[in-house]
Amino acid sequence: MGRPSTDEDPWCLSRSVTLDVDAGTLWPWLTEGDRLDQWWCPPPTVSISLEPRVGGQYEEHYQDGSHAYDIDGTVEVYDPPMTLAIRRHVDGDFGDTDIITFSLISRREDTLLTLEHSFPEIDPSLHERARAYYLPGWADSLARLHRLVTA
């Protein structure tokens, strides 16, 4: 799904999943590079490092044999174990930056994880293309995370 943008709230894609673990158990899967590597993209194509603090560095290296890229960024929000937001410098088709935010809501017996992938500079004519490009990948990644965390 996507939502409209405003100057304060850029257009974003949103996906949620319920995990049968507490937020404290889920949090390291969002903030530790060796765990992110297992679910972010199809392993072993990606290597991620992240300094878990506001202003911390983020690096993503992707290589699948036919395609390679490097992305850097900065941790914008680090509020364990509830919110992590990373601004990535992507220089891509949908703008020069994107922001990936993970929000956790602890409930009695599980945790609701919501991922928002926002695009501060996206041209509105590209919304459907961005949706078609990113949502299937995020669905696969979150399903992989669900399997790993609840195994």
pLDDT tens by residue, 121-139: 999 999 999 999 999 999 9
Distance (Å, whole) CA 89 – CA 103: 21
The pLDDT of 32-46, averaged and rounded, is 89
Q: 11-150 domain in CATH 3.30.530.20?
A: yes
pLDDT tens by residue, 72-93: 999 999 999 999 999 999 988 9
Distance (Å, whole) CA 1 – CA 19: 20
Q: What pLDDT, on the 0 to 100 scale, is given for residue 9? A: 57
